[in-house]
Amino acid sequence: MDSGIIITADNLKRYYKIRLEGFFSRPSVLKALDGVSFTIRGGKTLAVVGESGCGKTTLARLVTMIEQPTSGRLEIKGISGTTGNKDEQKELHKLVQIVFQDPYGSLNPRKKIGSILEEPLKINTGLSASRRREAAYEMLAKVGLTREQYNRYPHMFSGGQRQRIAIARALMLKPALVVADEPVSALDVSVQAQALNLLMDLQDEMNLAYLFISHDLGVVQHIADDLLVMYLGRPAEQGSKAAVFKKPLHPYTRALMGSIPSVNKNLRRKRVRLTGEIPSPLNPPSGCAFHKRCAFMSEICAAQKPELRQVEDRLVACHNAEKVAAIPF
């Protein structure tokens, strides 16, 4: 394994059996995640984007080991996240931490900030109370807060400050990988940039790998190194941020890119209008799940599911990617 690679995911799948009509009915299979592979190196960010229901949060739950995959392989710093023993699993929980979307709901309102920050150390290390307190002071300083705020409760902070505290808590165990699940979407636009800059500064300082989950491509454009675009549980396009933003090759990616607002008229992309609704993951269309909304749809799209394949400088799951590439965007 490359020593610089923090996480490797290979063909991760997560299926759920759901009974729609009653306990004795035949269960339907919901393919929340249906074959996702990627690697992330230290100091790099992979952004996962897509509409609601595409599988972003399910992927986050697998990477943080809240749930186990139905199949596939997950490895973090050489330790298996799917077959490791009890001691290895405990070590993995130190290596992977998560920053949740809602800074108001992710902090215990009954606990002071100092106690919230020290809790991971209390559970996972043998540090003394004084050492834990010093570590909390140091982390508060890293995220731009002061020692005087150590004894305050969450309700005494603004939304941006609470998210700083949530970031600080995630970093207390010095993880190798941080999963950021829509970490700025609940914040005012005026403080989103501050939170993103903090995440990038901490990444440089601690050589962190980020799995950054978002629906906001404007945010992703600032923080990502690589991009994974998902649709209905499957990768649609996967490559470097620079390549995908410059020239998206999947029709769905083009639709997403065209929706990014810009005050600069020269930077606005061609708007791609999608018709129809997102299909149900319980009853996806045959062939390509996107074909009923796609302007490039051809006969093969309705009959055969496209697999990820190399097109130019990235992976694309589209039968007509070469035709899409030929049209300026």
- Alpha carbons 131 and 151: distance in angstroms, whole number: 16
Torsion of CA 255, 258, 259, 265, to 10 degrees: -170
Tokens describing residue 250: 């999947």
- Alpha carbons 284 and 152: distance in angstroms, whole number: 49
Are 185 and 215 contacting, i.e. CB atoms less than 8 angstroms apart?
yes
Are 97 and 170 contacting, i.e. CB atoms less than 8 angstroms apart?
yes
- Alpha carbons 270 and 268: distance in angstroms, whole number: 7
- Which residues, at least 6 apart from 65, have a Cβ–Cβ distance to it below 8 Å? 81, 89, 92, 93, 96
List, in sequence order, the alpha helices (H) in the chain.
56-63, 86-95, 113-124, 129-142, 159-171, 189-206, 217-223, 241-246, 251-258, 299-303, 321-325
Q: What is the pLDDT of residue 262?
A: 56
Q: Using CA of residue 248, residue 254, residue 257, residue 258, what is the dihedral sign? A: positive
Tokens describing residue 46: 């992979």
Torsion of CA 134, 139, 142, 147, to 10 degrees: -60
Tokens describing residue 220: 């992703």
- Alpha carbons 208 and 6: distance in angstroms, whole number: 9
- Alpha carbons 295 and 182: distance in angstroms, whole number: 30
Residue from 57, 68, 88 nearest 12 by CA: 68
Q: What is the pLDDT of residue 220?
A: 92
Provide the CB-side half-sphere exposure for 215 (13 A, CA): 11
| CA angle (279 as vertex; 329, 52 as ends), nearest 5 | 70
What count of other Cβ atoms lies within 10 Å of the Cβ of residue 157?
19
Are 143 and 102 contacting, i.e. CB atoms less than 8 angstroms apart?
no
- Alpha carbons 17 and 152: distance in angstroms, whole number: 44
Q: Using CA of residue 207, residue 213, residue 216, residue 226, what is the dihedral sign? A: positive
Q: Write the Ramachandran bin of 6: left for phi over 0, alpha for psi from -120 to 50, otherwise beta.
A: alpha
Q: What is the pLDDT of residue 1?
A: 46
Q: Tell me the per-residue pLDDT of 48-106, one tens digit each, with 9 for 90 and over.
A: 999 888 999 999 999 999 999 999 999 999 888 887 677 888 888 899 999 988 878 88
The residues facing 55 across adjacent strands are none
- Alpha carbons 202 and 97: distance in angstroms, whole number: 14
pLDDT by residue for the chain (329 residues), tens digit each?
A: 455 999 999 999 999 988 777 667 778 889 999 999 999 999 999 999 998 889 999 999 999 999 999 999 999 998 888 876 778 888 888 999 999 888 788 899 999 999 999 999 999 988 999 999 999 999 999 999 999 999 999 999 998 999 999 999 999 999 999 999 988 887 888 788 888 999 999 999 999 999 999 988 888 988 999 999 999 999 999 999 999 999 999 999 998 887 765 545 555 556 666 777 778 888 888 999 999 888 888 999 999 999 999 999 999 999 999 999 998 87
The residues facing 52 across adjacent strands are none
